[in-house]
Structure 1
Amino acid sequence: MTTSFPPDLIDGYRRYSGERLPEERRRLAQLARLGQAPRAMVIGCCDSRAAPETVFSTGPGELFVVRNVANIVPPYAPDEFHHSTSAAIEFAVRDLLVPDIIVLGHSLCGGIAAYLKGRENEEIRGEFIGPWIDLLRGSRAEAEQIDSAMASEDMQRAVEEVVVRRSLANLLTFPFLKARVDAGSLALHGAHFGIATGELRVMNPKTGTFEKVSEQAG
């Protein structure tokens, strides 16, 4: 059954067309004519509170974004089934030649909270969510290697960080991607965004720890 388009979204478009579109019209026309050449790919969570374009204050054509539940990168596994995230990675690396890929995790991730509660939880009994969350198996054990007695809220954040690190490791299982990393034409990065605080922390590639980004210009 067809219903009317959400009026608040129509109002949002009208604000966009009246305020931002006049400034972006030339850029959009250029992108339509020349195609896209994004600065980076961002693999983020589909949580509505953690939009990469908002976090990094970017405009049209700057980021190639793929979002899924819990910002998971599955391992390289070519077969006859459907692989949305892997397809986006392939396109970004092979066709768009992005120079950077960022895995962006965030606080209060519902997918990770569901994983920590267990598959018996009603939230993850769905036909698709449950099997997807199973990709996180073992993440808690990895976090507990740091501190097995950490509080539940600390465990949530620790697993969120583990998932970013595991997704980065899984990216390297894609042969065409690893070849570019080895050649020095592609760099991988991890980051974590705090929903309640607006704080961005980036992963130190040497230690795997996440360090706060200063809010002041360098």
Structure 2
Amino acid sequence: MQDAKPLPQYLVQRFHGWKATSYAENHAWFKRLASEGQHPRAMIISCCDSRVHVTSIFGADTGEFFIHRNIANLVPPYEPDGDHHGTSATVEYAVTALKVAHVIVMGHSSCGGVKGCLDMCSGRAPALEEKSSFVGRWMDILRPGYEKVKDLPEDKVSKALEHQAVLTSLENLMTFPFVREAVENEELTLHGLWHEIGKGSIEVFDPKLGRFEEI
């Protein structure tokens, strides 16, 4: 592969810093993880956004979370059609092989993917409507959520659609037979979160109240 380049030097330096500190201080734990395999307690589905750092937010140790990231933290509905489904494969592995106890979907404020969906669905982003747009076709998953919030006041639509990205994913998770079975057997719980980046706060969806509440 002639197009690959050496790692930037600043990343090399950071690696050596990690190896000399975090790894050196916990090398027995890393060797245990390598020999015994991973046994994460929870799967977290979050956005690719570089500002969302779930391990820092929850103070997670190496090996504690099974993390999947994609644009706008979306889970597609169950579609065993033989095509490539990275998110669906990750969910399947987490639930059926790793036997995680929790699946957490976490959205966030100022989500670029959700804004793209809002612009696309309201006719302001024709490029995303093209069949060749990977982002646009991915954000089609959120179109049903857009229909639920499109008539809200303009200053409330973005946050409402970010919430819908979480709820849509939770609803779609329950279309996976192995997820539904694990939930019904009380072997798995699903959780919906929304992170306000600027405030550093977390809102959790309360199904009894039908809304997100700050914790």
Structure 2: segments with no counterpart, 5+ residues: none
Which of these residues, 149, 171, 190, is aligned with residue 188 of structure 1?
190
Q: What amino acid maps onto 2:201 in structure 1? A: E
Moved more, 17-26 or 184-193: 17-26
Is 1:121 the counterpart of 2:122 in the alignment?
no
**1:17 shift after superposition:** 1.6
Moved more, 199-208 or 103-112: 199-208
Distance (Å, rounded) in 2 between the aligned partners of 1:24 and 1:206: 42
Number of aligned positions between the proteins: 209
Is 1:151 the counterpart of 2:154 in the alignment?
yes
**1:53 shift after superposition:** 1.3
Change (3 A) 1:117 1:27: same
Change (3 A) 1:2 1:186: closer
Q: What amino acid maps onto 1:177 in structure 2? A: V
The answer for the alignment partner of 1:56 in structure 2 is: 58
Distance (Å, rounded) in 2 between the aligned partners of 1:204 and 1:185: 20
Give the alignment's TM-score, normalised by structure 2: 0.91
User: SS of the residue aligned with 2:191?
Assistant: strand
Moved more, 106-115 or 23-32: 23-32
Q: What amino acid maps onto 1:141 in structure 2? A: E
Structure 1: segments with no counterpart, 5+ residues: 214-218
Identical columns (%): 38
Paired residues of 1:165 and 1:208 also in contact (CA < 8 A)? no
The answer for the alignment partner of 1:12 in structure 2 is: 14
**1:129 shift after superposition:** 1.1
Which of these residues, 124, 130, 155, is aligned with residue 136 of structure 2?
130
Give the alignment's TM-score, normalised by structure 1: 0.90
**1:39 shift after superposition:** 1.0
Provide runs of 4+ in structure 1 moved above 4 Å. Answer: none
**1:131 shift after superposition:** 0.7
Which of these residues, 191, 195, 200, is aligned with residue 202 of structure 2?
200
Is 1:139 the counterpart of 2:139 in the alignment?
no
Moved more, 173-182 or 22-31: 22-31
Q: What amino acid maps onto 1:212 in structure 2? A: E
1:24-75 deviations in whole A, cap 9, x for unaligned?
3221111111111101000111111102212211111100011110000000
The answer for the alignment partner of 1:100 in structure 2 is: 102
**1:14 shift after superposition:** 2.2
User: SS of the residue aligned with 1:28?
Assistant: helix
**1:201 shift after superposition:** 1.3
Q: RMSD in angstroms over aligned alpha carbons?
A: 1.7
Paired residues of 2:106 and 2:166 also in contact (CA < 8 A)? yes
Change (3 A) 1:204 1:23: farther
Distance (Å, rounded) in 2 between the aligned partners of 1:106 and 1:56: 15
Paired residues of 2:120 and 2:126 also in contact (CA < 8 A)? no
